[in-house]
Amino acid sequence: MERRPLPGPVSMPFTSKTPSSSTRFAPGRIRRGEIARVWTGRLRQDRWCRLERGFSALLTAVSLSLGAIADSVQAEIKVALIPSVAVRGGDVLIPLVSTDGRDDWPRSVPVTIDGSSLTATVVWLVPRLPSKWSWTTPATPVSIVIANRDSGPPSIGNPIAILTVPDDAEGEIELLGERWSPRWLPPTKILDDELEEIDFKGVDADPVLDDPMEWFRWVLLADIEKRRPPLPRLGTGPDAEMGRRVAIAIASEWKAGLRRIQAASPGVAREIAERLVGMVVDERRARGDRFVAAWPTETSELASLRMLLLDHSRTALEAAQAALAWFEARTSFLVWTNACSSNSVTVELANPTFGELVALSTWRDGSGLAEAIVLPPRSLSRRGVDRPVLSRSAMSSSETLEFEVDQRVRSLVFPNRVVPVRPPGGGFGSIALPLTLAAANGGYIELPPTQFGTTAVLRRRGVRWQVFVDARTPEPIGEDRINLVFGPADATQARLEVRSDGRFEVSTSLTIEGLQVQVRRHADRWRAEIDIPEPWLTNSISDSQAGAVLIGLRRDGPGNLISFAGPPPPAWRREIPVQPFAIADWGRPSPPVNSEPR
C-alpha cells in the first residue's frame, strides 16, 4: 500500500532547481504488493522518494509554533513560515521560499529586531545518505549546507534563515517585508561544561549524532540523568557549524517547552521527556548491550507535540494535559516480523512504557482464536502465532495479523505461505533494507535507492536449478557480495558467498558437485548465475512447509548498504531469513489466487 501523506499543521512544497534524471536523490516510485512479497504492509521505494512530503514535515519541525504562513507583497524571496516563539540568546530558524524559482539565492539577509540591525545566514536542509545504517537512523536524514558562491544553492532542499538573537531581545522581528512579534522565551542552557558527559548505551539505543534534527534527544537524555549531552558529530567547516546551530536551536525549543510544563507538573514533564527517548530491554542480548530505542519518530507529529508544549493560548497545566493526550492518541507499542512459515509466524513486540500492556492478536479474516499477549514494562518480547488453518481447497493468499492495545491497532501483512516456482522463475520478492525504528513506527519496509536495487529468482535451467541475481550499482563501491543460505534457520545445510569480482566461498558438509558460479559485470550492475547442487536442495526441504525448499538471500553492499530478501530483520541483526520455494510447482499451471490480504 502506498505511504500516506505525513500529517502536520503545515504542508509546503520543497524548493528545487530543475531536477536531473541522474541526480542521486531522484524521487522514486512506490510499488504495490502484487509484484513483491509484502512483509509489513507498505513499501517505500527509498527514503528520498516523495521529498515534497518529507520536507514539508521537516519545515514543520524547523518552524516550531507557526504563527502564520507569510503573505508579503510580491518578492523574489520571502518568509515561508513565521515562527511565533523565539528563545533569547539562541538561534531562530525561519523557513524561506522563492516566488519566482530563482537560483541566485543570497548567503545572508538583513533583519531588524526592535529597530536594531542584524544579519541572518541562509542555509539549506538537504537530504543525504546515512553515514552508517542503524536502528535509530531517521526516516529522512538531512544535512545543513551553505550555498556555494560559484555553483549556487543545492539542486534540491529547503532554505532557512538562521538568526542569532541577543539575550535581551524583545519587540518585533522584520525580515524580507514580514514583521511579527514572537513570544520571547528566556535563554536556555544546553551545554553545561561543569557536568559530566552522558554515557553511551549502545548503537541501537542512542540517537544518531550526525543529524541535526535528532540531536534534541541527547539533550533530553542528559537532562534526565543530570548530565551533559555529547556535541553533534556533523564534521568540520562552516556547514558543520551551521548544522550544530540548527541542532541546538531545535533542542532549545524542546527544553523551553518542557521547562514550561515542569513549572505546572514536574511528573508530567519527566514522563513526556522519557517517552521521547523511550527504550526497551532485550534480554536475549549480551549484558551491557541490551537497550533498544523505541521512541516516536514521525517528524511532523513530533513538531505538533512541540507546538502543544509552547502553545501560550493554553495554560501550562492545559498544555501538559494536551501533551499527555497526544501520547494517548497514538499506538504505545511496536511490532515487527521475526520469522514466518506456512504454519506460524514469529513476531517481536516492544513496550517502551513504564506500565504493563496486553496486546490482543487476531487474524483480520476472523479465522483462528484471538490471543492475549502480555507485554511487561520496557520489554522486547518474542511470540509465535499460529496461522489460520486452510481447507484443502483453499488457495494460499496474503494474510493480515492485527495487534490491538487500548483500541490502537498495528498490522503485519504476510505473503503467500510458499513462493510458487513456475516459469520463468520464483522471485525472492522485495529485497529491502534492514528494519529501522522509523520503519517499524511507520509500518513499512524500505527499499534501497533504485540504482542500488537487487532482484533474484530461482529457476530451472535444463536439469539444474539456478539462482539468478541482478545487483545494481552504477560503479564498483567497495565490497559487494551476495550471501545465500539453504535449509532451516536453525539447521543450515549450505552457505554460499558470491562476490562481484567473481570469487566465491562455500561452507557446507554436503557435496559441491554441480556448483557453478558465473558473474558478469555491466555498466550499471553485475549479474550472477548460480547452479545449485541437487543435495543442497533435497536437504533443505521442510516437511512443515509442504515440501518447499528453504532459501535465504542477503546482499552486503555496495558500500555500507545491506539488504535482505524476506522479512527484513532489525538493523542490529544479520541473520538471513529463509523463504519456502515450492519447486514442485515447476511445470504446473498457475491456479487463480485472491491477491487481497485476508
The C-alpha cell 539577509 sits at 109
Closest CA to 277 of 210, 198, 348: 198
Amino acid at 457: V
Domains of the chain: total:
3
Higher pLDDT, residue 113 or 47 = 113
d(CA 150, CA 175): 26
Confidence band, pLDDT 50/70/90 cuts, at residue 489: confident
Output the average pLDDT for the chain. Answer: 84
pLDDT, residue 342, reads: 78
Where b means 16+ CB within 10 Å and e means fewer, 159-193 reads bbbbbbbeeebeeebbbbebebebeebebbebeee
Q: Based on the domain organization, do 84 and 207 belong to the same domain?
A: yes
CA distances from 6 to 49, 206, 299, 443, 518 (A): 13, 25, 9, 13, 45
CA distances from 274 to 204, 267, 291, 454 (A): 17, 11, 14, 39
Residue 594 pLDDT > 70, yes or no?
A: no
pLDDT, residue 25, reads: 31
Closest CA to 81 of 71, 91, 69, 73: 69
Q: Based on the domain organization, do 113 and 244 belong to the same domain?
A: yes
Q: How many CB atoms lie within 10 A of CB 197?
A: 14
Alpha helices (H) along 367-478: 437-442
Closest CA to 282 of 352, 330, 371: 352
d(CA 174, CA 165): 13
Would residue 4 count as lying in a domain?
no
Closest CA to 477 of 515, 436, 448, 435: 448
Q: In the listed set 328, 359, 384, which residue is the last one of a domain according to the structure?
A: 328
Would residue 1 count as lying in a domain?
no
Would residue 436 count as lying in a domain?
yes
d(CA 213, CA 248): 9
Would residue 25 count as lying in a domain?
yes
pLDDT, residue 597, reads: 52
Grid cell digits, residue 244: 550544530
Q: Based on the domain organization, do 197 and 344 belong to the same domain?
A: no
Rounded to 5°, angle at Cα 205 from 199 and 209: 70
Residue 247 pLDDT > 90, yes or no?
A: yes
Would residue 9 count as lying in a domain?
no
Residue 590 pLDDT > 80, yes or no?
A: no
How does DSSP classify residue 566?
A: S
pLDDT, residue 171, reads: 94
Q: Based on the domain organization, do 358 and 472 belong to the same domain?
A: no
pLDDT tens per residue, range 293-303: 999 999 899 99
Would residue 253 count as lying in a domain?
yes
How does DSSP classify residue 18?
A: S
Confidence band, pLDDT 50/70/90 cuts, at residue 13: very low
d(CA 151, CA 104): 9
Grid cell digits, residue 167: 539575550
Taking each helix axis from N to C end, the angle separating 266-276 and 238-264, rounded to the nearest 10 degrees, works out to 140
Would residue 537 count as lying in a domain?
yes
Q: How many CB atoms lie within 10 A of CB 82?
A: 21
Residues 268 and 261: beta-carbon distance below 8 Å:
yes
Lowest mean pLDDT among 37-46, 328-337, 382-391: 37-46
Q: In the listed set 296, 328, 360, which residue is the last one of a domain according to the structure?
A: 328
Residues 327 and 355: beta-carbon distance below 8 Å:
no
CATH number assigned to the domain comprising residue 424: 2.60.40
pLDDT, residue 478, reads: 72
pLDDT tens per residue, range 102-156: 667 889 999 999 999 999 999 999 998 887 789 999 998 999 999 877 777 787 8
Largest CA distance in the chain: 85
pLDDT, residue 336, reads: 96
Grid cell digits, residue 131: 553515514
pLDDT, residue 439, reads: 94
Domain of residue 133 covers 15-328
Closest CA to 211 of 274, 159, 144: 144
Residue 24 pLDDT > 70, yes or no?
A: no
Radius of gyration for the chain, computed over Cα atoms and rounded to the nearest angstrom: 26
Q: What is the mean pLDDT of residues 368-396?
A: 83
Q: Based on the domain organization, do 152 and 28 belong to the same domain?
A: yes
Confidence band, pLDDT 50/70/90 cuts, at residue 10: very low
Q: Based on the domain organization, do 425 and 459 belong to the same domain?
A: yes
Residue 269 pLDDT > 50, yes or no?
A: yes
CATH number assigned to the domain comprising residue 346: 2.60.40.10
Q: What is the mean pLDDT of residues 341-369?
A: 89
Q: In the listed set 364, 399, 415, which residue is the last one of a domain according to the structure?
A: 415
Which DSSP string corresponds to 222-251? HHHTT-BPPPP---SSHHHHHHHHHHHHHH
Q: Based on the domain organization, do 355 and 427 belong to the same domain?
A: no
Residue 36 pLDDT > 50, yes or no?
A: no
* Helix (H) or strand (E) segment spanning residue 123: strand 116-127
Residues 105 and 274: beta-carbon distance below 8 Å:
no
Q: Based on the domain organization, do 379 and 481 belong to the same domain?
A: no
pLDDT, residue 46, reads: 47
Q: Based on the domain organization, do 252 and 215 belong to the same domain?
A: yes
Q: What is the mean pLDDT of residues 18-45?
A: 37
Q: Based on the domain organization, do 30 and 175 belong to the same domain?
A: yes
* First CA to last CA distance, the chain: 14
Higher pLDDT, residue 526 or 479 = 526
Confidence band, pLDDT 50/70/90 cuts, at residue 2: very low
Residue 169 pLDDT > 90, yes or no?
A: yes
Would residue 5 count as lying in a domain?
no
Residues 259 and 266: beta-carbon distance below 8 Å:
no
Q: Based on the domain organization, do 430 and 457 belong to the same domain?
A: yes
pTM, rounded to two decimals: 0.85
Residues 178 and 63: beta-carbon distance below 8 Å:
no
pLDDT, residue 302, reads: 94
How does DSSP classify residue 321?
A: H
pLDDT tens per residue, range 449-468: 899 999 999 999 988 999 99
pLDDT, residue 306, reads: 95
d(CA 371, CA 351): 17
Q: What is the mean pLDDT of residues 558-587?
A: 90
CA distances from 141 to 42, 132, 250, 510, 578 (A): 20, 11, 15, 45, 31
CA distances from 298 to 53, 60, 138, 305 (A): 12, 11, 9, 11
Q: Based on the domain organization, do 442 and 313 belong to the same domain?
A: no
Q: What is the mean pLDDT of residues 213-241?
A: 95
